């Protein structure tokens, strides 16, 4: 079967830069899916995207579908013909459905059957529909019309290239008639570019000052930015999302170094970086210590004959932005940080939960309580808590919302607050995302946990529970943040008394019935996904959850111990034995074992083994060495197996039976001091 390369390029007005990468991948995926559905074999697929175009090139696409047979089953023979062989209406109807005479129908089997030979369609006839369908399925939130046209797309279309080999695929898509002419760079080569064959596409556009390969353009920008930064004795700050966006903004990238006045460096560098990245799409430069340099790199979309004019233009544009940031910074310093709390007394946190200032008061009290339990400075935690929301009322955060916490950190330093208090004002929002940085100070950890627990209790308390699709107060993230801080920083903190304290602070503002258990379960439920992501079996999580640890750190230590226990050769048998014990005892706790009633050798041996195990486990339990406990208990496999092999547990004598149940209860109790390993069986 003959095959040739296929190329489709849709030219448009400038596409949304933040969506370009997604649109390109979706367009390519749609083409590939359409070819597969049509049964058209092909080779490698290439995806291209630039500000004014989406394109796909498919190597060695078959010229047509393969011929195929279609088998259509009809009614059973006994229903198709009468006893005398006369065809029934069922048979005649089946023949009409197939478009043939009854004589052409195969009647050799149990049913009538028609085998239809279907000639494969030409690829050129199928491609317009495949391309149109792919474009129709693009993830476009809001489509637009232009002029008097009825067609809708994310931006007005301007041209369409569709080639199979050297042949134009004749069609019209989104009001554009297919041809072989693309367009060059809007300024360097604003004229049609003839594409003779798909393989020429990339070079033909490169000659017209357009680099159509998104990844190639991205790598070029990253490499050139890095080189220029090094020449300035700095390192470029290149967030992946910003690099993608800049790549989507230019067809012919030319990075240039620009500068700004050094006096702007007195402003918190996060604010300067934020405005340069978010508003101007610049790459900032920092020195070896991470301190901002008075330099930035812009990526021009043309190769100017006089780059100095381009540089001067960007420096002129950025100056008002930096001046605004400087003004807000200086304005905020005209009063102490704590005074901004006065404004927050009139700012609502949530309609039923009071003001932001009242939240700060609650956070302050909770943070002090937490600090006292994790070895932190109680007074500093309380102070950080009362200052925690002050910067929300500042001019800086009003203009740059992403500066919340960071602005507070700088202003606290300027107000000569202790270092850990200043740090806590920023650390309260940590972790800011999955895998993000945790608070470095105990004061910051205390405030971060307090803030999140206050939000969880309050929002749950007014009945605004998260749903599968909505979580406007980010309660899941708050719960995961609490867990990460306590587990990863090794902080022992029981949640029940903390939750009760948080509930008590709200008083009558919230509904308290069942609230503590609801929030407690919500927090610990978040651990299940965490362990699944770490490759830990759900049964391990369930085994620990069954014994209801109250401290996230303690919970995690037990999980790690059970995970290790599962790797031991004795684990399977002991899990099964514990399951058997659980079935025998039910909810009964069992009393003390009376040694005098132990008659069988196996039960005496198990009793002795349990007595020794209890002595050995006691110091391990005191040290929370759960792995050591389960490793020690694994040695009980032999006496446990012998007991079940040789001893009738449910003896006829009620006293003996009760004594054996008490013995098994001792066994179960030892394991339950860590987890319910019967769940593993």
- Give the tens place of pLDDT for each residue, 235-246: 999 999 999 999
pLDDT band with cut points at 50, 70 and 90 for residue 658:
confident
Structure tokens at 66: 């393969």
Q: Is 229 exposed, middle or buried (0-12, 13-18, 19+ CB in 10 A)?
A: buried
Q: How many CB atoms lie within 10 A of CB 447?
A: 37
Is 563:631 a contact under the CB 8 Å cutoff?
no
588 vs 310 pLDDT, higher one:
310
Residue with tokens 């005098």: 596
First to last CA, the chain: 57
**CA 312 to chain CA mean position, Å:** 41
Question: How far apart are alpha carbons 34 and 27 in whole angstroms?
Answer: 11
pLDDT in tens, 540-554: 999 999 999 999 999
Mean pLDDT, the chain, rounded, equals 92
177-186 b/e (C-beta count within 10 Å ≥ 16 → b): ebbbebbbbb
**Which three-class secondary structure state does DSSP give residue 370?**
helix
Say whether pLDDT at 53 is over 90.
yes
* Proportion of the chain above pLDDT 90, given as a percent: 70
Q: Which one, of 182, 301, 181, 318, lies nearest residue 248 by Cα?
A: 301
Is 394:344 a contact under the CB 8 Å cutoff?
no
Is 534:664 a contact under the CB 8 Å cutoff?
no
Question: How far apart are alpha carbons 659 and 592 in whole angstroms?
Answer: 8
193 vs 633 pLDDT, higher one:
193
Question: How far apart are alpha carbons 138 and 30 in whole angstroms?
Answer: 8
Say whether pLDDT at 678 is over 90.
no
99-108 b/e (C-beta count within 10 Å ≥ 16 → b): eeebeebebe
Q: Is 74 exposed, middle or buried (0-12, 13-18, 19+ CB in 10 A)?
A: buried
pLDDT band with cut points at 50, 70 and 90 for residue 32:
very high
Assigned CATH class of 3-65+122-207: alpha beta
Say whether pLDDT at 636 is over 80.
yes
**Which three-class secondary structure state does DSSP give residue 183?**
strand
CATH superfamily for 570-680 is: Isoleucyl-tRNA Synthetase; Domain 1 (1.10.730.10)
**Which three-class secondary structure state does DSSP give residue 113?**
strand
Residue with tokens 């198709």: 80
Question: How far apart are alpha carbons 578 and 569 in whole angstroms?
Answer: 15
| Residues in Cβ contact with 466 at an 8 Å cutoff, skipping those fewer than 6 apart | 473, 475, 476
pLDDT of residue 260: 96
pLDDT of residue 150: 84
Please give the average per-residue pLDDT across 309-332, as a whole number: 95
Is 101:151 a contact under the CB 8 Å cutoff?
no
Cα distances (angstroms) measured from residue 366 to each of 194, 345, 500: 70, 19, 11
Structure tokens at 166: 């050297």
The structure's pTM equals 0.80
Please give the average per-residue pLDDT across 627-647, as a whole number: 88
What single-letter DSSP state applies at residue 325? H
Say whether pLDDT at 382 is over 60.
yes
**CA 43 to chain CA mean position, Å:** 33
Say whether pLDDT at 620 is over 80.
yes
Is 420:353 a contact under the CB 8 Å cutoff?
no
Please give the average per-residue pLDDT across 574-598, as a whole number: 78
Would you kindly state where each structural domain of the chain is located, as residue ranges?
A: 3-65+122-207, 68-118, 215-332, 348-535, 570-680
Question: Architecture of 348-535 per CATH?
Answer: Orthogonal Bundle (1.10)
- Which of 151-155, 532-536, 662-666 is the least confident region? 662-666
* Proportion of the chain above pLDDT 70, given as a percent: 99
- Which of 275-289, 338-352, 667-681 is the least confident region? 667-681
pLDDT of residue 653: 81
Structure tokens at 423: 């740090």
- Residue 255 backbone zone (phi > 0: left; psi -120 to 50: alpha; other: beta): beta
Is 255:225 a contact under the CB 8 Å cutoff?
yes
Question: How far apart are alpha carbons 361 and 383 in whole angstroms?
Answer: 10
Instruction: Count Cα neighbours of 339 within 13 Å in the Cβ-side half-sphere.
Output: 7
| Strand-pair partners of 57 | 7, 46
Q: Which one, of 159, 189, 128, lies nearest residue 6 by Cα?
A: 128
Please give the average per-residue pLDDT across 660-666, as a whole number: 85
pLDDT band with cut points at 50, 70 and 90 for residue 488:
very high
Q: How many CB atoms lie within 10 A of CB 196?
A: 12
Structure tokens at 109: 């089997």
Angle between helices 538-545 and 515-533 (to 10 degrees): 150
Instruction: Count Cα neighbours of 327 within 13 Å in the Cβ-side half-sphere.
Output: 8
pLDDT of residue 589: 65
Say whether pLDDT at 209 is over 70.
yes
| Residues in Cβ contact with 504 at an 8 Å cutoff, skipping those fewer than 6 apart | none
Structure tokens at 202: 């990339």
- Rg, Å, the chain Cα set: 36
Say whether pLDDT at 71 is over 80.
yes
Cα distances (angstroms) measured from residue 290 to each of 270, 274, 477, 599: 11, 15, 28, 75
Q: How many CB atoms lie within 10 A of CB 285?
A: 23
Question: How far apart are alpha carbons 462 and 507 in whole angstroms?
Answer: 12
H-helix or E-strand spanning residue 612: helix 601-622
Q: β-strand 172-173 against 167-168: which pairing, if any? A: unpaired
- Which of 155-159, 632-636, 646-650 is the least confident region? 646-650
pLDDT of residue 411: 96
Cα dihedral 539→544→550→553 (10° resolution): -90
pLDDT of residue 1: 55
Say whether pLDDT at 414 is over 90.
yes
pLDDT of residue 108: 84
Instruction: Count Cα neighbours of 302 within 13 Å in the Cβ-side half-sphere.
Output: 14
Say whether pLDDT at 587 is over 70.
no
Q: How many CB atoms lie within 10 A of CB 89?
A: 10
């Amino acid at each position: 079967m003959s095959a040739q390369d296929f190329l489709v390029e849709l030219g448009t007005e400038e596409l949304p830069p933040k969506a370009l990468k997604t649109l390109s991948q979706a367009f390519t995926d749609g083409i590939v899916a359409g070819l597969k559905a049509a049964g058209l074999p092909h080779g490698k697929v290439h995806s291209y995207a630039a500000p004014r175009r989406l394109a796909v090139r498919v190597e060695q696409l078959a010229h047509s579908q393969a011929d195929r047979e279609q088998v259509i089953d009809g009614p059973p023979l006994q229903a198709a013909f009468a006893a005398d062989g006369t065809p029934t209406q069922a048979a005649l109807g089946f023949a009409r459905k197939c478009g043939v005479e009854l004589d052409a129908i195969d009647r050799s089997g149990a049913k009538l059957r028609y085998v239809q030979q279907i000639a494969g369609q030409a690829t050129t006839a199928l491609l317009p529909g495949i391309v149109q369908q792919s474009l129709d399925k693009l993830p476009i939130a809001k489509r637009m019309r232009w002029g008097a046209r009825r067609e809708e797309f994310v931006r007005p279309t301007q041209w369409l290239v569709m080639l199979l080999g050297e042949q134009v695929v004749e069609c019209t898509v989104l009001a554009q008639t297919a041809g072989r002419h693309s367009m060059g760079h809007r300024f360097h080569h604003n004229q049609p570019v003839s594409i003779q064959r798909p393989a020429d596409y990339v070079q033909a556009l490169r000659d017209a000052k357009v680099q159509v390969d998104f990844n190639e353009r991205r790598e070029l920008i990253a490499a050139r930015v890095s080189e220029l930064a090094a020449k300035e004795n700095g390192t470029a700050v290149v967030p992946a999302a910003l690099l993608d966006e800049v790549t989507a903004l230019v067809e012919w990238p030319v990075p240039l170094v620009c500068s700004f006045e050094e006096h702007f460096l007195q402003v918190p560098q996060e604010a300067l970086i934020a405005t340069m990245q978010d508003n101007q799409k610049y790459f900032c430069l920092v020195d070896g210590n991470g301190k901002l340099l008075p330099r930035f790199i812009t990526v021009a979309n043309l190769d100017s004959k006089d780059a100095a004019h381009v540089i001067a233009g960007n420096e002129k544009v950025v100056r008002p932005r930096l001046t605004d940031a400087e003004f807000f910074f200086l304005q905020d310093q005209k009063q102490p940080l704590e005074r901004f709390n006065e404004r927050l007394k009139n700012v609502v946190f949530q309609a039923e939960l009071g003001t932001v200032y009242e939240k700060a008061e609650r956070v302050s009290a909770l943070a002090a309580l937490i600090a006292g339990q994790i070895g932190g400075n109680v007074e500093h935690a309380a102070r950080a808590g009362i200052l925690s929301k002050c910067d929300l009322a500042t001019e800086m955060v009003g203009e740059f919302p992403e500066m919340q916490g960071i602005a507070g950190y700088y202003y606290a330093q300027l107000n000569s607050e202790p270092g850990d208090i200043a740090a806590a004002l920023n650390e309260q929002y940590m972790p800011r995302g999955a895998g993000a940085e945790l608070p470095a100070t105990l004061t910051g950890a205390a405030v971060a946990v307090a803030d999140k627990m206050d939000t969880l209790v309050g929002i749950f308390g007014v009945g605004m529970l998260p749903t599968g699709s909505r979580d406007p107060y980010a309660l899941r993230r708050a719960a995961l943040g609490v867990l990460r801080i306590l587990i990863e920083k090794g902080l022992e903190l029981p949640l029940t008394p903390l939750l009760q304290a948080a509930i008590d602070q709200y008083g009558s503002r919230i509904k308290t019935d069942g609230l503590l258990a609801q929030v407690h379960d919500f927090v610990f439920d978040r651990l299940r996904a965490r362990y699944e992501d770490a490759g830990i079996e759900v049964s391990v999580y369930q085994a620990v959850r069954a014994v209801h640890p109250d401290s996230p750190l303690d919970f995690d230590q037990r999980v790690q111990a059970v995970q290790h226990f599962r790797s031991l050769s004795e684990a399977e048998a002991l899990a099964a034995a514990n399951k058997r014990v659980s079935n025998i005892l039910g909810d009964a706790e069992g009393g003390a074992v009376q040694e005098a009633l132990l008659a069988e050798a196996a039960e005496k041996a198990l009793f002795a083994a349990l007595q020794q195990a209890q002595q050995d486990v006691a110091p391990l339990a005191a040290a929370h060495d759960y792995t050591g406990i389960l490793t020690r208990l694994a040695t009980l496999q032999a006496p446990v197996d012998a007991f079940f092999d040789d001893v009738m547990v449910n003896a006829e004598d009620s006293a003996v039976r009760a004594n054996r149940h008490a013995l098994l209860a001792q066994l179960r109790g030892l394991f339950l001091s860590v987890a319910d390993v019967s769940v593993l069986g």
